[in-house]
Structure formats: structure tokens, C-alpha cells
Structure 1
């Protein structure tokens, strides 16, 4: 689904002061792409993602999904947060199953789907554990499949791997890429240049303030990619000039 951001401004008020995080931003995100929003902390990446997800409302301007204004959350857009956001009182299986239950799917076929997704990320033997019994990487795998099992058209990801060690991060990046064919668009927030070049078809480089777009870089390279590919390293050097 095409997402159009038009004249978007978002201002937060703190006592008597106003902080304009996004200032008259215009950008279009096309279908069937893995798009990374890349920039420093505080540049407006997460704010933009939350507005696209319908979790917050703009101060002015609008966001359109296939020509229709985004007014709030929708099952067409799945959101994966930086924090793991699992229900602590539910097992791994029940956390994933909950995502189907809210849509009215609670039959045996739904349970088999959950089993298959857990197996796909190596958690089939952990299905009866609770979140406190899992490592950070395991918790984020649960959060990942809980969103993706509903096949949203657009997946919004807010630095989902930033708190993980490098080996776990690389493993989850590859698992994410393995699932790409099921979704139209992925918008992925990161401040990690190497992560962006490894994952993305397109990188939107944002400036430090006001949601300014410094550049939009297309990466016409198939997956799987090698992290030390000279072409990717050259793109990383180019991006570093903006940051």
C-alpha cells in the first residue's frame, strides 16, 4: 500500500514550550519495498512511524494510505516496538495466539498456524514459557511473529533489534528478510547505518531536526547480501557524510 505524507507537522508541548519534531514533511513510501528511516536519535523517525501507525495524531497535515486518510490504528498496519511489549501473564503460545483471537480466529487451524510460526523462529520448545523466562532475543522473536502472523499489508518496526547483542541481531535480521514475500511494505526505523544497508531496498536519511529528508537512497541489490560487500560499504560511506 502506498503511504503519502503531506505537509506533516507534529509539535509536542512541554509546559509553555513547544518542540516541533516534524515540520511540513512531504514524502511518499511506495509499495513492495523494505524502507529504512535512518537518522540520529531525536530526529523524528519514531514520531513519524507512530503517526503512520495511527498511534498519534498530527498537529497539521495528513497521512494517506492508498489515498485514504489514516485516522487511527488498523489491522492493515502491524507495529513492532523497540520494547518487547509482550503480555507477562501469557505464555509464548498465548501471546502469539492473542493476535489471532482479537480478529475472531480461535479454531484449531489458528493454533496450527501459531505452532508453525513458532517453529519457524526456533521457539517451538519454548511455547509454554512466560516472557520473564526468555532472553531478549527470544522475546523479540515472539513480538515479531505475533505481528506478522496476521499478514498486515504494512509492517512498522521501531528499532526492534537495537537492544540485542550483535549475533542475535544478525540472526533476527536474516529471519526478517526470509519473511519479506508476505508483506507489501516494511518501514523500519534505525540509527544503525550497516543495519539499514543490509536490510533495505530504500533508505530515507533524515536530518537532525524537523524531520528534514537529507536524501533518499535506493539499493538495487538482491538478498541475501554480504555485510562486507564493497557496494554496501560505499553506500555506508555516502550516508555517513549526512550524519
Structure 2
């Protein structure tokens, strides 16, 4: 899955880690809960179909989600977990046609999503030359994670996901340290920091650790985020106009979709500039 030009992100042509809604039974629209907020227009319990979900498992307001108050749906990414659960774990049996599968299918989907997210990060880490000292361990972790995704529904539902995430995260953290060590100068350590609304316009954040940082509505206009570790960072409504995110570590499409950039925002080659920018 490595890019031939050592891209900092996994190969976007790989369908296994990309959402394929046409092969999914609308699992994100059913299995997950909604809370009425700026992201969702209504409350919805886990396991309850969204009222906008059609009988063919398509969204009835797909082209109008933002204007109808469902911007949260536009930034969700299952990393291909939806089609994996629908077509592999449950062998193409949908929860409407086989209602006895519904409860377990909805339990398994969030587990599969976390495993596929880890596969995305592990695949990216394996493209990074600076991480070669841990490539063997990363490959082993990816093989183990892929093996877990092939388990039966009962095995997946019973999986200790936090324990597995901790195991993988240790490798991803080491990967981040190895890559960022090549950036000259002192790197900012803002892991898990509350930077909501922070004024970071033009900031030099090269090689910074922003893992899990809250950057909601932060002003990152023109900021240099090259080789910054952004795994788990909340970029909702963050202003990225003119920012340089080339080479940013563990950045996902969902994070970019949730932010506000412009034509001058420099993105990694494997991410797509959102249409609403």
C-alpha cells in the first residue's frame, strides 16, 4: 500500500480504507447516535435509523446535508469499515432483510471503524523512511490488525479495542518521534492542549506535536504545519487559509473536511480539497 513516491499518506487508490457507501447498509446512519447540535439537526439514539435514510440505504438529503443542519455527516469517515462489515463480516445480509443481524451488526461497526482507522495510520507510517527502525514492528501490527478485522461478528463485538489501540499507538508515537526529530530546532509539544480559538496565524509549527489537541475555530491562517503530528486533533472550523500541511503526520480527510481552508491551503497529495472551501 506504499506510494511509489514515498507519499506521507497511504495510497488513496486502496479501496479497503476508503468509504464505499454503495456497498454499505447505511451503518453510520443507524449504528451511531446523534446529539442535536451545530453538527446535527436532531437527537438520534444508537441503533435507530436516521429519518433521512431511504429504504435503499442511501441518504435522502445527501446533496443538502449542510443546509439542512447535518454538517457532521459530511465530515464523517468510516475508513471503509461500513462495506467491510456489510459485505464481509455479515456476508451481504442487510439488517432490514435479516433483522436478527441488526443488533450485532450495529455493535460491530464502531469496532471495525476503529480497526480500519488504525490500519490507515499504520499504512501511512510504513511509507515514512525515517520510521524504518520500527517498520518491522509496524508491519506486524498491521498484519495483526488486519487479522482482527477478519474475525467473526462475535469476536469483533468482544474485542478489547482500547488495549489494541494502546499497543498500536505506542508504535505510532515512536514513528512520530523519529520523523519529527529530523526537523531542526525546538519543536512545540502541545499534545492534548486546549487551543480552541487560539490565535496561531502564521505560526511556525513544523514538527510540532499536536496529537489530540483541541483546535476548534483556531486561527491557523498561513501557519506552517509541515511534519506536525495531527493524529486525533480536532480541526472543526479551524481556519487553514494559506496554511502549509504538506507532510503533516496522520492527517485524515475527515479532519480537513471539518476545517475551513482556501485555494492557497497546501494539502498532502493524498487528500482532497473540500468542495465547500
Does the alignment reach a TM-score above 0.5? no
TM-score band, normalised by shorter chain: 0.3 to 0.5
User: Using CA pairs below 8 Å that are at least 6 residues apart, which structure has the higher relative contact order?
Assistant: 1
Q: Tell me which protein shows more strand as a share of its residues.
A: 1
TM-score normalised by structure 1 residue count: 0.36
| TM-score w.r.t. length of structure 2 | 0.33
